[in-house]
Structure 1
Amino acid sequence: MQKEIFKTLIKDGQADIQDVELYQRSFDFEPQGRYVLVGIRQAGKSYLLYQRAKQFLKEGHDIKEIVYINFDDERLLGMKAEDFDLILQAYSTMYNYKPILFFDEIQNVEGWEHFARRLANHKYMVFITGSNAKMLSRDIATTLGARYFDEKVFPYSFNEYLEANNVILEKDWLYGKQKNQVGQYFAEYFKWGGFPELLLYRNKRHWLNGLYDKIVLGDIIQRNNIKNDHALRLAVKRLAENIMQPTAYNRLANMVKSAGVSTNTSSIIEYVQYVKEACLMFTLDNYASKFAEKETSKKHYFTDNGLLSVFLTENYAPLLENLCAITLYKQYNKDAGTPRLYYYNRNVEVDFFVPDECVAIQASYSINDHETRRRETTALVALNKLYPLKKALVVTYDEEEVIEMDGLTIEVVPVWKWLLCDSNTDKC
């Protein structure tokens, strides 16, 4: 690796930061904080780096202080950990400032965390992104030694999606023309998800197929040297088809084998772990299960509805539950530590349960059918008898009412309204 390459990359990065036009996401950086931002590809991590860099410029810093390098750049193929210092050497031959460092997709270079620790020890301001959840693992956190804030980054929320489409909700928007506009944008968001770049394209399925293939091939198969890629792809497809049901690993292995593809349970467990590390999916545990059962039977959800739509045609019920799962996961399980969000399945089935807040939520596309209505509401009543609830919801696509049943108040709310009015905003 040559210093001249890094000189070129530094100049290219400065030009990119000056030229890029941004939709400002509501992300509050600590003024003196260093950050490791982790999330699925195309979630908007790079733009958060640009956003922070522009904040520094607005505060009076010179563009020459900024170093932005994307380690997905083909000019950095084959880079090793010992090459990191060349970045500082190259910069020192160009400028006399202490640089502010922005490193995108740094996980491509094994051992990056040791360089990041050294930079922090020398009081550099550093901002790092990556597309692998292992960057938040205990081992790497130990190496970094609490010198960085770590944050998970997701694609747009619905509120961000509206703002990115220049829709700013007015006071009392529910009672005016904006309600129809919100409904139109929600139908799009519901099916195709919130990847920021997706707003630029008409053929959204084609773009999502390409993103999915890039994640599976580059971030999972190649990174983990998987030989039986057909089994992995089929396992993800089966998880998508069973998004609303807990899926045990041995059952998933049998589903793959039933299609004539050779695999075993231990391989399936590894594949699912790799899929989670690539931030493609996340899992929820059954609150009612013993520890061993929690580890073997989980509910699996996609990080964005658009990626689930890759596998679906006209069945929208899985999209509704997946969107609820994403929203609740960001609220309760986003930070490291003990999970707060579960599903409940023991004699009664409830889609989402937050025991420490006594909140239970069912996701049901519609409860107009008598049997569906009975199933969803009686499950909440039964859970309330086991764990008294402060809040019980049934999130639907577009139905709304209040049900009083056996001493429990159950709110039935449209998902678009729940996303906008239950997200700590006052716009409803």
Structure 2
Amino acid sequence: MIDRPAYLDQIRPFIGKNIIKVLVGARRSGKSTLLQLIANQLRAEGVPERNMLHLNFESDSCAGLTDAASLSVYVHDRVANADGKVRLFLDEIQEVDHWEKAVRSFMVDYDADIYLTGSNARMLSSDLATYITGRYVTIDVYPFSFAEFLDAYRTSAGDIDERAAFRRYVTQGGFPFLTDLSFNEQASEQYLNDLFATILFKDVVRHAGIRDADALERVIRYVLAEEGHLITLANIAAYMKSEHRKITSDTIAGYLNAAAKAFLIYRVPREDAIGKRTLKVNEKYYVVDQGLRQAIGLNNANAIDQVLEGIVCMELKRRGYDVQVGKVGDKEVDFIARKGGDVEYYQVTYLTGSQQTIDREFGAFAGLDDNWPKTVLSMDEFPQTRDGIRGENIIDWLLGR
């Protein structure tokens, strides 16, 4: 089991408090492991086993717990002998019909410390907001960062040079189960291909009630192929038409929204960086983990600029930033990252080998007259700094150096 201290640090202030801890993220991103790590910490602090109940609603052992009534009865029977605060770990709670009613009753009926996980933001956000307003905190969980991947690889498969590890990260991504496969390339690709299908059909099709699964898959594959490029609903509709599939822009928008709710893709809106307003046309989408992109047949090495951009986008989200694409006149800044009152600007490129590339990447910030940090990230061994704009190696940046 790989320790994930950054997430535990987020959760720790709420442990034992009468507020529901909701861990959300893509399927197999490590939410269940975090519940186990929290339970281990509670055991180490002396919480007796009889006071803890861990239910995974995708397990056969919970097959009979399909609705709020059956869940309430089951929990009541299991915690009757608890001595003091009850610790409830409810994994993939969205599989239970009207689960929010049961959880609300647990807060009322017991002295309860409750932890939920879910793989579909649509159900969790709407139901929590309706029934448990102001009594929950959400923690976003992502697949491994490169720093976590490097630690896991060295623990599981032995020491490895950082650059060699990063090449693997670019193609295999960071889903934690890869450690169980010892990062074997063939086994990892098969696992990720199956995981993509599971997310698509179980977390998107089923929960969103989508009837044409084939059209959905074609749309998502197109979006992943165009990762990091500005696209519109009209672009996608034109592509589908070329595939002899007529589909409306409203339907496409519904597909993209459903995939985002399942944490398969992340939408990054476009903003006028000078006028500080969100633009209604053209936006970017990024896959939650680049390993999924590679596994479905999109060669990440052949789209390295796009893939590096996706890795940086997801790392910014891990670090708690709100991310937009910036429009500065006729130029584009890859990312405007905001957290609290702070702002950072980023350009991402594979290499700044030519003067033309250097001028393009550093010149993207022209017109931004504020004093917030501006960085060009690349794989350059010796990145340069120009006009107060910092150049930084992507690996060093990902590792927090």
TM-score of the two chains, using structure 1 as the length reference: 0.82
Structure 1 stretches of 4+ moved >6 Å: 289-293
Separation in 1 of the partners of 2:390 and 2:101? Answer: 50
Tell me the CA shift for residue 23 of structure 1: 3.0
What SS does the aligned partner of 1:23 have? Answer: coil
Q: Which amino acid aligns with 1:256?
A: M
Paired residues in the alignment total 379
Match of 1:417 in 2: 396
Contact 2:313 2:323 in 1 (8 A): no
Match of 1:198 in 2: 178
Separation in 1 of the partners of 2:398 and 2:367? Answer: 24
Percent sequence identity over matched residues?
Answer: 26
Separation in 2 of the partners of 1:113 and 1:86? Answer: 15
Match of 1:336 in 2: none
Change (3 A) 1:92 1:328: closer
Change (3 A) 1:77 1:348: farther
Contact 1:117 1:147 in 2 (8 A): no
Q: Which runs of 5+ in 2 are unaligned?
A: none
Contact 2:118 2:124 in 1 (8 A): no
What SS does the aligned partner of 1:413 have? Answer: strand
Q: Which amino acid aligns with 1:70?
A: N
Contact 2:352 2:380 in 1 (8 A): no
Separation in 1 of the partners of 2:317 and 2:133? Answer: 26
**Equivalent of 1:32 in 16, 19, 25:** 16
**Equivalent of 1:186 in 140, 155, 166:** 166
**Equivalent of 1:128 in 116, 120, 140:** 116
Q: Which amino acid aligns with 1:84?
A: L
1:351 equivalent to 2:334? Answer yes
**Equivalent of 2:218 in 234, 238, 241:** 234
Matches within 5 A, 1:166-181: 166=154, 181=161
Contact 1:38 1:135 in 2 (8 A): no
**Equivalent of 2:51 in 52, 55, 65:** 65
Tell me the CA shift for residue 146 of structure 1: 2.1
Match of 2:361 in 1: 376
**Equivalent of 1:91 in 38, 53, 78:** 78
Q: Which amino acid aligns with 2:125?
A: S
Q: Which amino acid aligns with 2:336?
A: F
**Equivalent of 2:376 in 372, 394, 410:** 394
Match of 1:220 in 2: 204
Change (3 A) 1:62 1:139: closer
1:45 equivalent to 2:31? Answer yes
Tell me the CA shift for residue 296 of structure 1: 4.6
Tell me the CA shift for residue 157 of structure 1: 1.4
Change (3 A) 1:327 1:96: closer
**Which digits, 9 at most, give the CA deviation of each residue in 1:329-360, with x for residues without a partner?**
22344xxxxxx421112411110113653421
Q: Which amino acid aligns with 2:383?
A: E
Q: Which amino acid aligns with 1:200?
A: D
What SS does the aligned partner of 1:365 have? Answer: coil
Change (3 A) 1:62 1:78: closer
**Which digits, 9 at most, give the CA deviation of each residue in 1:163-199, with x for residues without a partner?**
22346xxxxxxxxxx9x72222222122211111112
Q: Which runs of 5+ in 1 are unaligned?
A: 1-20, 168-177, 334-339, 422-427
What SS does the aligned partner of 1:197 have? Answer: helix
